[in-house]
Amino acid sequence: MDELLSQAVGPLIAIFLVTAMFSLGLDLTLRQIVDSLRDKRLVTKSLLINLLLVPLLAVAITNLIPMHEGLRIGIVVYAIAAGTEGGPKFVQIIGGNTAFAFGLLVLLLTFTVAVVPLLLPLVVPHVDISTGALVGKLLLVVALPICVGLFLNARFQALAARISPFAHHLSMFLLYGLFVLLIYVNFQEIVALQTNALLAGLLLFALAFTAGYLAGGAGAAQPARARDHDVCPQWQYLDIDRRGSLPARPASADDGDDHDGMLSATGRVDSHRNQAIAVAASGGNSSGPMSGQAAFSGLCSS
């Protein structure tokens, strides 16, 4: 039974990613995604944090905190591999700017696919990465579902509006189920995990989160659905207060640097919170240093 559940993790992750990306596409337009990346200052800060600061933090933390070599390599490799396919879904859950989150994800995954295969041999000698297989998975579980959702939202808005709640609830159900399943399947590894490695993962998450929060600003605004924009363009960003009432005026255009408060490190922050334990634990297995990376690949890209 346990073996069957372990084998089910990969397919369930793929199904979750497909439904999550499809759900995002139903609520976005291509113009929203492109326009969200016009804020060059925010994009630059986001890329610097994800591609430079977080890997440097990982190297510093794993050198300061003693741990098994496999765990250290696993955390560093994970920090280098920017972009988590499920990140925009977490941003949608907290009411953030999903258009920017997905646009940033595209940029981060482009870097990961193009550059990480060249960098990994410097960290893990003799490592072999199938770039073609990685690109194929990303196209199948990320690009295709969101493109289908974007198409439906652009051409059949009424249908997209009806499907969107179902797709969102299905992806959330799969997310909660996967969370429980991953803990159950990896429970023995979690129990046997070195305390230092767990501390390092949590510290990396906290620092990455803080860096992204400070770089983006404290505010957050979620673009309204595309059909609302067609009726009233000034409703593009709505700021709903704690009582659920709408503001007296639309958000100012000057809020650009503030409305993505927790998004600058989107490619990393959401994944560290849910996966640091499994990643670190796998890195200490007898199969060698690359077992940690295998855990990341199975969890993020299957």
Convert the pLDDT of each residue in 149-200 to its tens digit. Answer: 999 999 999 999 999 999 999 999 998 999 899 888 888 887 777 788 888 9
* Longest CA–CA separation in the chain, Å: 61
Backbone region of residue 95 per phi and psi (left: phi > 0; alpha: psi in -120 to 50; beta: other values) = left
For 290, phi then psi, to 5°, come to -75, -5
Q: Is the dihedral of CA 72, 75, 9, 209 positive or negative?
A: positive
Q: What is each CA distance from 69 to 163, 258, 276, 287, in whole angstroms?
A: 47, 40, 16, 13
The first and second tokens of residue 208, run together, are 């990455």
pLDDT at residue number 217: 59
- For the chain, the first-to-last Cα distance in angstroms comes to 21
Q: Determine the Cα–Cα distance for residues 42 and 256; give it in Å rounded to an integer.
A: 8
Name the residue among 216, 269, 218, 271 with its Cα closest to residue 43. 216
Average pLDDT per consecutive 10 residues, the chain (302 residues; last block may be shorter): 82 90 91 90 92 93 88 87 83 86 89 81 74 83 91 93 93 91 86 83 90 70 44 34 39 44 42 38 38 36 38
